[in-house]
Structure 1
Amino acid sequence: MDQLDQLISELKQMGEEVKKVVCRSIDALVNRNYQEALEIINEDDLIDNQLIVLEEKITFLLAERNPKGKELRCCLSVFKLAKDLERIGDYATNIAEIVLELKNEEYIKPLIHIPQLAALAVNMLEVSLKAFVEENADLAEAVCRKDEKADNMY
């Protein structure tokens, strides 16, 4: 496997981990699962570490191979996407922290729209990563169309 293919594979793995933690954090919020929230908070460093490893590998690849054109754009895209995935993981951790903060509070109303919005966001994340990996502009455009739906839900 080529170094660039390895980076993309690791990015996909990171994306899977981020999707899981977002789903877990929403589940913890909806079901008031404090143990799950604590586990999410304690596992936050795992995604942070994936970012660090990817950044180091990209830096090494840039220095070693001095990529140009498409290869350079791919390296920079993986770098940017990994940072975005890490930030999404941080947002999931923030949701877990809110679960603990609201431990002794009643929700004002049932959480109906939050799980729906989260499901849409996770789907958009999946399709975005697939669009990148497959270099599929049609999939990328589909995500843009879903973004408006997400904005309207918010």
Structure 2
Amino acid sequence: MPESLNLVQKRRSHLQNVVGDLGAQVVAALHQSVECLKTQDKALAASIIAGDQRINQQRRLLEQECLVTLAAYKPAGEDLRAVGACMELASELERIGDYAADVARIIERDVQDTLPAEPVAAIVELAEDAIDMLEQTLAAFIANGSEATLREAVAKESQVDREEDAFIAQVLERMRADAAFAATGTYLLWIVHNYERVADRATNVAERAIYVASGHTPDLD
């Protein structure tokens, strides 16, 4: 770390790195949930659900560190915005981790028959786009990236929305044509919505990161 950083800036950098560590746990859980969807591995699903408790605990620890930093270091300006953003991102990331656990719960508790390959492949494609958005956004936040970099990181958000809309239309059409598909279709709709929400919250992360750098909060939806 450069010697020119003062104590407040070093503390801010530490907190951003802790956000990165929490983000890495969340991203790993999301990737595991995608693998769980593809394989319907109930043991993997149980592992993801158990791991969500560790993410929740890490969120609480990060929030405590942010509060201590605010009280003890009294940051101002961009540093204050950064510490506040770290606290908010702790909550955002914990919620994103919940989406991975929710997918795992559907696989573990609800799905009994093998999910059809074609809709699963469509969900996987959407999920990978959403996870990529989150990874790029977190990397930009930790590196104090520019507004342009952050906007580029979430440029796929509208594409993910279109993918979800098309998927919903296809599943509903099949549900109307085949009553026996109703339960499976419902599970698929629940799962795809979880991944679409990952993209939405990645956009929230980008908005907070831009606020840190510029002092204004854009509407990236």
Question: For this structure pair, what is the TM-score category when the shorter chain's length is used for normalisation?
Answer: over 0.9
Which 5+ residue runs of structure 1 have no aligned equivalent?
none
Aligned to 1:152: 162
Cα-to-partner distance string for 1:98-140 (whole Å, 9 max, x where unaligned): 0012342342553111111111111100111122122221221
CA distance in 2, matches of 1:108, 1:39: 23
SS for the counterpart of 2:156 is helix
Aligned to 2:194: none
**Greater relative contact order (Cα < 8 A, sep 6+):** 1
RMSD: 1.4
CA distance in 1, matches of 2:154, 2:31: 21
Amino acid at match of 1:122: I
78, 84, 96: which is aligned to 2:92?
84
Which 5+ residue runs of structure 2 have no aligned equivalent?
2-9, 165-221
TM-score by length of 2: 0.66
Aligned to 2:65: 57
CA distance in 1, matches of 2:46, 2:162: 31
Aligned to 1:112: 121
Identity %: 29
Cα-to-partner distance string for 1:14-59 (whole Å, 9 max, x where unaligned): 1111111001011111111110000111111110011111000000
Q: Could you say which structure has the larger radius of gyration?
A: 2
The alignment status of 1:44 with 2:44, answered yes or no, reads no
Contact 2:40 2:114 in 1 (8 A): no
Aligned to 2:212: none
The alignment status of 1:122 with 2:116, answered yes or no, reads no
CA distance in 1, matches of 2:82, 2:44: 36
CA distance in 2, matches of 1:145, 1:44: 28
Contact 1:131 1:137 in 2 (8 A): no
Amino acid at match of 1:124: M
Amino acid at match of 1:119: E
CA distance in 2, matches of 1:121, 1:139: 17
Contact 2:26 2:96 in 1 (8 A): yes
Which range moves more in the overlay, 119-128 or 134-143? 134-143
CA distance in 1, matches of 2:138, 2:86: 10
CA distance in 1, matches of 2:148, 2:159: 17
Aligned to 1:11: 19
